[in-house]
Amino acid sequence: MLRLRDNVSIAESEDNVVLLDERAGEYFQLNPSGALALRTLLDGGTPDQAVRALTEQFDVDGERAGKDVMALVADLRAAGLVIS
């Protein structure tokens, strides 16, 4: 299960998500598809469920959505924003 690190705050609007790394004072903005994938994962969903949510909400095929979800998770981990 994916979760935010203790020092990361989240601000959500209807379509977007902004993450604040309070340690570094850096903001990370996610577009609507990234926001949907992150919300799905933070709510306990699997990567496959995030892919399904993306393909249902946006005009994207499963292969592309799968790559995008994996890239998002890798980027968030590399930035130190999330842990499993």
CATH fold label, 3-83: Arc Repressor Mutant, subunit A (1.10.10)
Cα distances from 74 to residues 29, 31, 51, 59, 68, in angstroms, run 15, 16, 15, 23, 10
pLDDT top residue among 15 and 50: 50
pLDDT per residue as tens digits for the range 15-24: 789 999 999 9
* Predicted confidence band of residue 5 (pLDDT cuts 50, 70, 90): very high
Kindly list the domain boundaries of the chain, sorted by start residue.
3-83
Q: Find the distance separating the first CA and the last CA of the chain, reported in whole Å.
A: 5
Question: What is residue 15's predicted lDDT score, i.e. its pLDDT?
Answer: 75
* Predicted confidence band of residue 76 (pLDDT cuts 50, 70, 90): very high
Q: Are 30 and 38 in contact (CB under 8 A)?
A: yes
pLDDT per residue as tens digits for the range 8-44: 999 988 778 999 999 999 999 999 999 999 999 999 9
Cβ count within 10 A of residue 69: 25
